[in-house]
Amino acid sequence: MRRVFRKSGLGAAAAILAAAMALAACGDGDDGGSDGGGGYGGVPDTDGEEETTTEAASATVATGETSLGEVLVDGEGMTLYLFTDDTDGTSTCYEQCEENWPPLLVEGTADVGGAADEALLGTTERDDGSTQVTYNDWPLYYWAADTAPGDVDGQGVGGVWFVLDAEGNAVETTG
């Protein structure tokens, strides 16, 4: 699993402010492309802090209760998202997009929990050779501004980022 860690913590107020600014900027009609521009609905890293990432030997895709109902989460309860610009199980989220929407990565195979369906679980190779977990052929991502299990602040960002239900379908409602 890939997580973004910062050398010094980003306070809850700053995270909420950053998410609010990103959401406000997403109504520009952009198609949500991942060309490194603003259309992906990302939160720019304006704090200047160095980021590091890790990749887990295993990852879990489970279900958890949120304000949007039961959706896919990782083994720690952090919400997972799909990107509607992805096609045929292939990620199109790289560079700045990837910084703001870190992919769920695994070195081996992923496990299931809760009401998640093992038959829908898979993986895809990313351009850098890492392995991203998929569900119902959707590559899975985190939203960098989600700070606690059950947060769904990335829901609907840019009109292209959505949580998934246990059947692997996008949940396009808001809480």
Structure tokens at 32: 């949500």
pLDDT digits (tens, 9 = 90+) for 63-122: 999 999 999 999 999 999 999 999 999 999 999 999 999 999 999 889 999 999 999 999
Burial of 42 (0-12, 13-18, 19+ CB in 10 A): buried
Who has greater pLDDT, 96 or 6?
96
Structural domain boundaries in the chain? 3-171
pLDDT digits (tens, 9 = 90+) for 143-164: 999 999 999 999 999 999 999 9
How does DSSP assign 35-76, residue by residue? SSSGGG------S---EEEE-BS-EEEEEEEETTEEEEEETT
134-135-136-138 Cα dihedral, nearest 10 degrees? -50
Residue that has been written with the tokens 């909420």 in this structure: 16
CB contact set of 89 (below 8 Å; sequence gap of 6+) = 122, 124, 134, 137, 138, 139
User: Is the pTM here over 0.85, yes or no?
Assistant: no
Is there a contact between 173 and 157 (Cβ–Cβ < 8 Å)?
no
Residue 35 has pLDDT above 50, yes or no: no
Who has greater pLDDT, 68 or 8?
68
What is the Cα–Cα distance from 38 to 96, expressed in whole angstroms?
9
- pLDDT for residue 46: 40
- pLDDT for residue 109: 87
Who has greater pLDDT, 61 or 37?
61
Q: 98, 70, 74: which is closest to 149 by C-alpha?
A: 74
**Secondary structure E strands in 126-168:** 131-135, 138-139, 161-164
What is the Cα–Cα distance from 129 to 25, expressed in whole angstroms?
32
Mean pLDDT of 12-21: 40
